Amino acid sequence: MSSPSVLIAGCGDVGSRLATQLLAEQWQVHGLRRNVARLPQGVKAVAGDLFSKQCPADWPDAAPDYLVYCAAATEHDEAGYRAAYVEGLQHVLGWLRERGQRPKRLLFVSSSSVYEQKDGEWVDEASPAEAEAYSGRVMLEAEQLALDSGIPASRVRLTGIYGPGREWLLTQVRRGYRVETDPPLYGNRIHADDAAGLLAFLLKADQRGAALDDCYIGVDDSPAPLAEVVGWLREYLGVTEWAADASVRRTGSKRCSNARARALGWVPRYLSYREGYAAILEGQG
């Protein structure tokens, strides 16, 4: 029996972590990105640009068993989001059709920005996704494109990805970052390794015949008020000074649930921000 194969379109940080996890389990992994020199060792390089209609010359001859669309916007405006998530996905689906290729399943990596809840509500996959900002609206459009692709598709809405190289909050805390405590501003996060781990888990579940839902939220077990996270990091880092400027007031406040992924058997390695940030600060993750 041949090893299962996957094409990761947009094989950047999370995509490369996914590739590494699947390679360790003897999967055949194709990684599409512009700079293929940055792909993990063992990944079959597909040098291409998701923003171009031109199909990459390295496109695999045989249909991949799975497609993971894991792009990231390079320009953070509506046009940039549309190019990365809608037009890029249209290009990849077109390249598959040109070659008569149809993967068994498409995983579309989305975002919790599709949820507009702001008052600390619990959010799951059945909650209304009524994004007002362009980022969420464009993501919903791209999600629908995936669902209408003719390929069985699951959307994976990741939340607050952090990890090595994604340390904005740590930098801010070291500078004395202030946040309001009342009302609590709930935030959601997932370590980059767990984001990749959830994608790998879903691929392997499908490969062994499990029935997948069309949507999963990727988040750790413990949504927490931002002030709590900042306070814990301040103590861990030994930060005693506060910044001179006023408290930062973030807008969104919701608590995302991973119950659906948990029910399928997925368990995050980093159950909360405590384990995840401790691993980063100790150089372990």
pLDDT tens digits, 76-98: 899 999 999 999 999 999 999 99
Given a cut of 90, whether residue 127 has pLDDT beyond it is yes
**Lowest mean per-residue pLDDT among 29-43, 171-185, 227-241:** 171-185
Distances (CA, A) of 44 to 32, 192, 265: 9, 22, 30
Instruction: Give Cβ neighbours of residue 46 (< 8 Å, ≥ 6 apart).
Output: 7, 30, 31, 32, 33, 36, 56, 58, 59, 60
- pLDDT value, residue 284: 66
User: What confidence category does residue 170 fall into, taking pLDDT thresholds of 50, 70 and 90?
Assistant: very high
Given a cut of 70, whether residue 1 has pLDDT beyond it is no
Q: What does the mean pLDDT of the chain come to?
A: 95
Domains of the chain in sequence order: 5-162+189-219+255-269 (3.40.50.720)
Amino acid identity, residue 220? Answer: D
